[in-house]
Amino acid sequence: MSPAPMAPAVTLYVPGLHGGAGWPNPPPAALARVLARTRRVEGGDEGYAARALALFGLPPTAGLAALARLGEGQVRDDRWWVRCDPVHLAVDGDRLLLLDNDTLTLDAKEALRLSARVGEIFADEGGVVEALAPTRWYLSLPAPEPLHATAMAEVAGRNIHDYLPAGHARYWRTRLNEAQMVLHEALSAGHGGEAARGEANSVWLWGPGRAPAAVSADPAFTRVWTDDALVSGMARATGAAVAGEPTGVPELDHAGATLIVLRGAQGAVQYGDTEAWSSFLEAFVAAWWGPLAAAVRARRLARLSLIGDRGPCHVLERGLWRPLAGWWRR
């Protein structure tokens, strides 16, 4: 007799789950109550992209831009890629704050026009800039200078002076300045003034490298729900089926490990909106955690894991606990 199919497991990845550093506000009472009933697993301060790599079992050196291109539906190649995303830099006293690409209102036509201007900066070196989506641009160079860059999710809402590119710093910072100048010229030609919020007046470089060569024979997840190109690319690189962000709890008829990425708290934390953060988490408990926890109690779900982009993780599991090492892999 063949064994009965294993009950499914679900991991909820909620960047911004634990709020921002130094926030005085405690988590919403409804969230605090459900977390008190889980097994707590201590975690570090990895950040959104680094923790996602760990969830999928991918190496921390994997090229994030190359992975995100897979999530855009592109075919894997061996070229070096870096995200070259349009952003808005806002002056705030003596600080220059990065407002990320999710805050922009670029349409496809304008994105192609502006990305072409940025591409001219790298053309003599054989560089190519692709606008695979209006606010997601990718730069490839055949012989790139060394680059150490901070993922945009970790810089959004912060002073860029603390996160400027390193490696061959002079080269990359000069290119950023050139990008700011050509974007300023392009926008001035359009309306004759400074860039308003929602318009791109710079780019942010992050995620340099190449796509990992090998696909795991034992993928962490077999099904992934997300609207993020980066996580979609990680899923495709490891052989998981990918769908967009679900509007509600999906059917639990999938005998395997499912990852669901919900980013509603991420922007609130990046830009210090404690009210939006609390509102999202209250809705999350009712719409997501409650039904899935009930499925664990009804033995329709073997395990439910809740993970933020930093800090502790939480596991609700029927029966005996599994070993902690590699707990996110199943």
CA 200 from centroid of its chain's CA atoms: 20
Residue 82 β-bridge partners: 139
Residues 205 and 219 sit within 8 Å (Cβ to Cβ): no
CA nearest to 179, candidates 68, 103, 66, 85? 85
Reported confidence tier of residue 20, pLDDT bands at 50, 70, 90: confident
For 46-101, what is each residue's pLDDT tens digit?
999 999 999 999 999 999 999 999 999 999 999 999 999 999 999 999 999 999 99
Q: What is the pLDDT of residue 190?
A: 57
More confident residue, 244 or 118: 118
- Three-class secondary structure assignment of 180-247: HHHHHHHHHHHHCCCCCCCCCCEEEEEEEECCCCCCCCCCCCCEEECCCHHHHHHHHHCCCEEECCCC
pLDDT over threshold 90, residue 21: no
Q: What is the pLDDT of residue 159?
A: 97
Residues 202 and 180 sit within 8 Å (Cβ to Cβ): yes
Reported confidence tier of residue 328, pLDDT bands at 50, 70, 90: very low
For 268-291, what is each residue's pLDDT tens digit?
999 999 999 999 999 999 999 999
Strand 136-140 and strand 257-261: the pairing is unpaired
Q: What is the pLDDT of residue 247?
A: 85
**Residue 47: C-alpha distances to residues 7, 44, 53, 142, 180 (Å):** 30, 9, 10, 29, 27
Residues 322 and 330 sit within 8 Å (Cβ to Cβ): yes
pLDDT over threshold 60, residue 326: no
| Residue 148, SS3 per DSSP | strand
How far apart (Å, rounded) are the C-alpha atoms in residues 195 and 185? 10
Q: What is the pLDDT of residue 218?
A: 79
Both structure tokens of 181: 């100048």
Reported confidence tier of residue 107, pLDDT bands at 50, 70, 90: very high
111 DSSP assignment = H
**Residue 68: C-alpha distances to residues 64, 78, 160, 206 (Å):** 6, 14, 23, 11
Reported confidence tier of residue 320, pLDDT bands at 50, 70, 90: very low
Q: Is the dihedral of CA 325, 67, 164, 103 positive or negative?
A: negative
Reported confidence tier of residue 189, pLDDT bands at 50, 70, 90: low
For 148-176, what is each residue's pLDDT tens digit?
999 999 999 999 999 999 999 999 999 99
For 130-151, what is each residue's pLDDT tens digit?
999 999 999 999 999 999 999 9
How far apart (Å, rounded) are the C-alpha atoms in residues 101 and 314? 30
Mean pLDDT within 31-54: 93
Q: What is the pLDDT of residue 324?
A: 35
Question: How many of the other CB atoms lie within 10 Å of CB of 200?
Answer: 29
For 191-249, what is each residue's pLDDT tens digit?
555 556 678 999 999 999 999 986 666 789 999 999 999 999 999 999 999 998 888 99
